Amino acid sequence: MNRNARLSLLASMLVAGVFAFWGGWTRRWMSDDGLIVLRTVRNLLAGNGPVFNAGERVEANTSTLWQYVIAAAAWVTRARLEDVAMWLALGFTVAACVIAVWAAGRFWSDTVLPFGVLIYLALPPARDFATSGLEWGLSIFWLAAWWALLVRWAKPVNGPASVRVASWLAFLSGLSWLVRPELALYGGVTGLVLLAAHSRQWWRILLVALPVPATYQVFRMGYYGLLTPHTAVAKSAAASDWGSGFAYLWDFAGPYALWAAAAAALGVGVALMIGSYGRERTIVLLVAGCGLVHLVYVLRVGGDFMHGRMLLLPLFALLLPVMVVPLTRRIGVVGLVVAAWSGAIVAKAHPIDTARLDAGDQLGIVDEREFWGWATKQEPGQAPHYAEDFLAWKVMPDWPTAIGEATRDGGAQLLLAQLDTPSGAPEKYDWYHLPRMASDSDLGNHPLTAYWINLGMTGMNAGLDMRVLDTVGLATPLAARMPRDPNGRIGHDRWLGLEWQIADTAADADALPEWIDRTRVKQARAALRTSEIRELLASSREPMSPGRFLKNVKFSLTGGRSLQLDDDPSTYLDQPTLNSIDAGEDVGLGGPQVAWSSSF
């Protein structure tokens, strides 16, 4: 690489780093889903383990590594968790863009100009998820490091590609599953390529690639009783929803004319690769193939409910070979057009339709940052940064007071009620608690419990001695196994009925409000004691021991993999039990243990 090429690459890296930092910093925020991660980190730092609720072993976060990275940084710095997550995510994003540009410049070995990196960073969702508390920064950092090692493997500095470089690439590929499950596609295919290219050193490739993910997988099976993160159970990808997937794609590509920028990137990439051969062509085909399969997967499962989020990773992967491109007259013209497009997209942004939200239309695909900025009454263009910012949402202002009152009164469960208001007046909500049972049932071991779909804001604004669960199954095994609602929101189409929610708490079933079906609550409580549901609950609640660990490994390969529940609790009960419940008896208070006491 000559002096001009080196200078152009350094300039491109500077542009990428500054643009990535500026874009992420100016749109920094914290999402409700990001707060879910931080609740787990709080439990880790408190000694309760990698769980969302103390005493219930549920892996509520999709990215395994992300929660541990935050925990390690928080333990060292003692800084506020929201700040730790924001700075880590932003740092990973900046590093990812710089490394991706550097690797692309090394690949072309010519005078280059920024190209694909401008396309990616111009998109508002890319800059939104540069922070947010989620693992997107870590994920694109993994992709960038993967691409850099592929380039080093295909174009070694001196001599043929060494086994040492292949070993580092194999190790990184092994970590893919722990960054995000779908990145296993990239890591797995890379592993096969390395095994084929270094057939005589196959044992070394496997020796560095497998130990870390294999060790964690055994831990996951024994500790959680699952083969995958619990979120993958709740968001099962077994069914296809191509219509929603293509609607999700257009929701992302349409507003920004991304299709035009993507066509330009494709045309430039194909033109540059004509005449290439050997490992250079191999790694480009590897990157493009994995990115395309990832894209198809997102379309197949129906996309997501957050605008653009699930398409960012395959887009970043597909742009890796053209993050920078060689400077020629024709490519320079295309580069200027892309730069102009990028500037226009940054200026245009993605404004939210507040009239639609004011009218109560909050389902479907939502610009998550703009939505929470609106919901928490932030200044225009701003968004929440800390957990307490979410208390400004219409359902949350009384949350701390309700927890205090319920704790003082020994309450069992918090419920949310919508209050009657005059026609045209803003909606008002209030949290109230249900009384605790007087029985010595093991269900009395449950601490104060609340169910709400938004786990992050409730969990981070509550103590670790409180049990916070959701209705769609991200942290709630019962909800994750309920039937899917074909009309539900993508990724949130499970639903745990109110009767099931109350049944699995210490609430007194005979002291419930009249509008709650007490008979059905008692049926659900009795159903908890039946064999398959009891084993599901025991896999996450029974105190850990060697025996429980082995049972969980077995469960992860059987019921943990396939168990689905019926939302009608009566289907699990025989007629004598149903008759006893109809007579007013709460038979589910006794029987095989389903709740254990926990220390916090």
* pLDDT at residue 22, as a whole number: 97
Decide if pLDDT at 109 tops 70.
yes
The answer to whether 349 and 140 have CB atoms below 8 angstroms apart is no
142 or 514, greater pLDDT = 142
Q: Indicate the burial class of 427 (C-beta count within 10 angstroms; 0-12, 13-18, 19 or more).
A: exposed
Decide if pLDDT at 395 tops 70.
yes
Decide if pLDDT at 345 tops 60.
yes
Between CA 581 and CA 568 the distance in angstroms is 15
**pTM, rounded to two decimals:** 0.95
Query: To the nearest whole percent, how much of the chain has pLDDT over 90?
Result: 84
Beta-carbon contacts of 122 under 8 Å, excluding residues fewer than 6 positions away, are: 256, 261, 341, 342, 343, 345, 346
* pLDDT at residue 354, as a whole number: 66
Decide if pLDDT at 424 tops 90.
no
Structure tokens at 440: 């010595």
Between CA 418 and CA 429 the distance in angstroms is 4
- pLDDT tens column, 350-361: 767 666 666 555
Q: For 359-365, what is the mean pLDDT?
A: 65
Decide if pLDDT at 600 tops 60.
no
Q: How far is CA 307 from CA 14, 358, 431, in A?
A: 29, 19, 30
* Pairing mode, strands 413-418 and 449-451: parallel
- pLDDT tens column, 153-189: 998 876 666 888 999 999 999 999 999 999 999 999 9
The answer to whether 457 and 392 have CB atoms below 8 angstroms apart is no
Q: For 426-437, what is the mean pLDDT?
A: 91
- H or E segment to which residue 502 belongs: helix 498-503
- pLDDT tens column, 25-80: 999 999 999 999 999 999 999 999 999 999 999 999 999 999 999 999 999 999 99
Beta-carbon contacts of 514 under 8 Å, excluding residues fewer than 6 positions away, are: none
- H or E segment to which residue 187 belongs: helix 184-197
Closest CA to 149 of 136, 124, 166: 166
Q: How far is CA 253 from CA 67, 119, 125, 260, 262, in A?
A: 31, 12, 11, 9, 9
- H or E segment to which residue 521 belongs: helix 518-527
Q: For 527-555, what is the mean pLDDT?
A: 96
Which pLDDT band holds residue 480 (cuts at 50, 70, 90)? very high
* pLDDT at residue 423, as a whole number: 75
Between CA 372 and CA 237 the distance in angstroms is 27
Closest CA to 447 of 410, 408, 405: 410
